[in-house]
Structure 1
Amino acid sequence: MPSKLLLLALIFLSSPAFAIYKCESGDKIMYSDTPCHNGKVDNMKEITIPSASVSNDSHAAQKQLQQDKKELRRLQQGREKQQAHEDRQQAQRYKIVEAKKKKCAESAQRVQWANEDATKAPIKSSERAKQKARRAAEKHQLLCGAA
């Protein structure tokens, strides 16, 4: 809308007056912006645009353009700020997921070691090693949701 208004203002500034010619040639009537070449000039009207209204329209168009640019900058800055916030949140979620994966891997390794210790334990301490392996597996299941 503002660009149309600006274009209209520029058109009016470039040609401050329009002339309309009514030409009669036989039984035909033609209207033109140039004088009649071979025909009777019936009526000539000149339309003038007051320079004050052109100036006001141009000023209003410039003011609207500046307001639109300001609003565009504000919206762009808001969008960039929102995008940066979303990027930070995504990075934070990624860190949390990676930390959980690392803890799950460490827990799985502890379960594996506890099971190995239980199978290699002497008969005298095998019950205690098996209990330790079960507890490690339970802790891993709580932490990672896997068996």
Structure 2
Amino acid sequence: MNQFLTHSFVLAMAIAPIAHAEIYQCEENGKISYSQTACKTGSKETQRQFSVENNSNPGYGKIAEQLKKDKAESKQLTDKRHKEEVKYEKEVKQITLKAEKKKEKCDYLQMQVKWAAENLENASPKTQSQARTKLKRAKEKAEFFCK
């Protein structure tokens, strides 16, 4: 039994170290993607074959190092994109708040114009001049701010 396990282990070690992979590099509309299957028709295709023999392959270290670099770069780009998205959302929120405040202020000034017009209608002959001036100023403020 022990001899069977030893032979099985030796056979497994002889087969296991070699791994093959076919990778397709596809370019479509200027964007590059990688896949295990052939590219869609109409896109530029480059087929590559990789074989990695456990850790004993001299190129394995380079491949592993490149993989680490690519993962680190991907994480940096993802973090950067996330920060930019948060910044953009804040800017949009600020712009929206400013627009809402401006609308509220404009509505308030329009209401003051309406009140000044009512005051002019109800003004006595002595206070009509003062009411006209008040209405004129209210209209000027509303026109200036609400344009």
Please indicate, yes or no, whether the TM-score normalized by the shorter chain is above 0.5: yes
Q: Which structure 2 residues correspond to residues 1-147 of structure 1 after superposition, within 5 A?
A: 4=23, 8-10=50-52, 13=53, 52=56, 54=57, 56-145=58-147
Q: 1:7 to 1:64 in 2, by over 3 A?
A: farther
Distance in 2 of aligned mates of 1:7 and 1:108: 73
Question: In structure 2, what is the Cα distance between the partners aligned to 1:119 and 1:141?
Answer: 21
Question: How many residues align structurally?
Answer: 102
Structure number with higher relative contact order (C-alpha < 8 Å, ≥ 6 residues apart): 1
What amino acid maps onto 1:111 in structure 2? V
Aligned-partner residue type, residue 108 of structure 1: Q
Q: Which has the higher helix share?
A: 1
Does the 8 Å CA contact 1:104/1:143 hold for their aligned counterparts?
Answer: yes
| Max Rg structure | 1
Aligned partners of 1:8 and 1:104: how far apart in 2? Answer: 68
Whole-Å Cα distance in 1 between the matches of residues 116 and 123 of structure 2? 10
Structure 2, gaps ≥5 residues long:
1-21, 24-47
Q: CA RMSD in A?
A: 2.2
Distance in structure 2 (CA, Å) of the matches to 1:103 and 1:7: 67
**Structure 1 segments (4+ residues) deviating >6 Å:** none
TM-score between the two structures when normalised by the length of structure 1: 0.63
Q: Sequence identity of aligned pairs in percent?
A: 26
